[in-house]
Structure 1
């Protein structure tokens, strides 16, 4: 019976949770689409506008630079102005900047527009995950946060499919339509998010208890109140710069390192997927087919991770993910001149096994920090991880030319193994804890 429920975190999954999951994870679909789209559009855009290798690297890395900015300030904005207000910022920026790409005439303008798109992505991470996790039942927290990563890769796969289709049928300037196509999905996301309530947990931290009570009743029913929400109002104001002083420095260090080690190889490969596959002797149409297939396997890996995250546990999942994906990357370096079937098998293995770490980039930052600093910690983790991702993306074209594909893959494997070591030393287990317990310092 509902009146016997001590916490709304123990309530079953309902229609509101389902809608909020799609509203929040929809931003991740747009993130994956708009970030991966450059992998399809960069080469024809560069040929049409005459980019040199410097601007190719800068444009590929520009969105990641924007994510650093957006993540750094997005968490603060989300904490200051509320989850609901900032919930609409990302979709608006996505729509306007994506449309503007259609009329781009030079590298500098495209760099700026993709920087703005990156800012929007950086804002999305803290606001959409905080909004969702603060409403979710305890047992659904890990799997549903994991959906952010699954939907990201679905968006990435859609970018490759839609982008290739437009390039093959859209005529001489089809690359312009490819770049602008993200505006369709981002506008749909904006419409989907209309009507989302504010987070009751955020309202409590701001002392707005009456409004928080109204949100709880409107979402869960009139028989529920703040007594069913295990969150106490606090007067302490904690900023992102006070994380270490507040005792969360070790957790922030862990999140930043493992997240960076997880995404550097992925973003570096995604930005230049056709070039990387061609360097591995996967050429012509097989390169495009390989890109789509590997992306689909990323989705499979993330789906498996969301199914086992509660049974296997966060810590075991992370350690196993880094271990087996690191072996696959090392194999790509060792067997870089192997037949295409071996190369695609190793890439596929990497895509499947890295899914566990990818899912946990959404779970750990939202579980390990309290409401007052959850969005800021998520934003800071996003920003720090993107420094390495942007650097890796910029270096890939140079590394392929100067050091070869084998050493490039060895470097990716070394980064992954470092993530394994850090996770072995620092990763906590939070699967059976309430959100308040997981965020508490013991």
Structure 2
């Protein structure tokens, strides 16, 4: 793209990483870009108004040019990018979304960004995230941007009931069960453990990204394996030691703040208020490990450029600016999304965010860590797959149904769904070229 009298792409990118000049950012309420010389940045992230405004302020600080930040729901996002690229009428210079939003667009609808990750490899993106960004090819189609995850939280009083010899930073699932039993007995037979099992809770992510991968090594392909049956039978025992009100919990920070439970697992955004009043009384820890490893789910976001997008030199400069360690820390401070580049967490951040950042890092870097992703490529049908995991939970755990017959029946539902959607497997299952299916 370089021409006479223009800076090289490498020079432009270098400049973005060493400058942070603030500039005026006009509000952007629609997708049209006529009448402005700024970049349009279309994203599925930070859709709440307050989050979007904080991110626009971050853009003004981090980038020396006007940027119109436009948010979109995931389903229309993928359709919109595809249709604009195929029509040769792309209006967004930069797009941002989850791995599951971006991977289906690669490589046919995204520009090759291998130059950015190559030029700035010293920033320290995790190898497993760079592998995801290659989408099964040898080129990079998006730059890892920010991440979130799910962790354990516990009050210090609950730590007193850890099994002998157990390390809270390196628990096994058996030790988690023993811990829940001991804490319940010490609490007058009142359960101390809670899980977000309500209609709006994220307990299905626990099954998809934590329990089943840790027991089976996969999420879909191993869904009906003997190890999966063992995992569901384990879950039945764990649930017997959970607070009965867990079937109503949408997020764990409220019952933990209220003292209803002293141990819980949830998304970091749904735990952030737990230590607010007494930060010295709470701990955040990695999820447990099982026979196949420490399954954990990364909610990974990335930055990409649609194929044929306008003003790609400045788009690359914006992506480079958002990859700076200090900018990613600013994003953590503003919207509680954690850096993907190597950086230290400042001491002046709220205690909860520092705790969570440490737990997320230890989880990812721990021995036998096994990366899992939310479903990729299903778009608006992702809810159908999540319902399968919830239905297994209801039948096996809540109603005491047979685990083997339940997973066999639900495996047929999964295979039909994935065949209709024509999607390949995602981590931790091996990515292939064919349609993903339960073995």
TM-score, length-normalised on structure 1? 0.27
TM-score normalized by structure 2?
0.27
Structure with larger Rg: 2
Tell which has more relative contact order, 1 or 2 (C-alpha 8 A, sep 6+).
1
The structure that is helix-richer by fraction is 1
| Larger strand fraction of residues | 2
